[in-house]
């Protein structure tokens, strides 16, 4: 089973994601990391993002738009997508984990979690 070795590229990606409030695409991440590591390749960015998502250190947000977006802040929180300017914002809200129980009622399998995002108009667009 593959041992995971240190790589400065992966560190740079993690560092960049933990420090930004945006929810960048792989390409945006690539552009940014390139400022410190001009030789990094897009393939490496994708490979590391997949690794980090798998390890639970980064969240992948998809279905918003053509390409996936990534979020380095893994504490439980929800996202808001503006229908007008397509910005993604973090929502500070109380837990809605009880909807798992609602879903589990009368369901023969086992609901373990949910993925939710909210949409509407952001502060500037409303």
Cα–chain center distance at 107: 29
Among 8, 21, 84, 121, binds DNA (CB under 7 A): 8
Which long-range contacts (C-beta less than 8 Å, at least 24 apart) are formed by 29-34?
29/70, 33/9
Per CB under 7 A, 50 contacts DNA: yes
3-state DSSP assignment of residue 81: strand
The interface mask with DNA, positions 67-106, x = CB under 7 A, is xx--------------------------------------
Nearer to a copy of itself among residue 31 and residue 85 (C-beta): 85
Cα dist from 95 to 9, 43, 55, 116, whole Å: 35, 36, 24, 12
Residues near DNA, by CB under 7 A: 2-10, 25-27, 37, 39-44, 46-48, 50-51, 66-68
């Amino acid at each position: 089973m593959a041992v995971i070795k240190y790589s400065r590229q992966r560190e740079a990606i993690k560092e960049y994601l933990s420090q930004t409030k945006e929810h960048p695409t792989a390409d945006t991440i690539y552009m940014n990391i390139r400022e410190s590591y001009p030789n990094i390749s897009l393939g490496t960015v994708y490979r590391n993002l997949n690794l980090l998502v798998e390890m639970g250190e980064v969240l992948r947000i998809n279905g918003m738009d053509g390409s996936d977006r990534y979020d380095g802040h893994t504490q439980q929180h929800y996202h808001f997508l503006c229908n007008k300017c397509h910005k993604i914002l973090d929502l500070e809200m109380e837990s809605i984990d009880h909807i798992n129980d609602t879903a589990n009622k009368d369901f023969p399998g086992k609901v373990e979690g949910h993925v939710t995002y909210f949409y509407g108009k952001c502060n500037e667009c409303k």
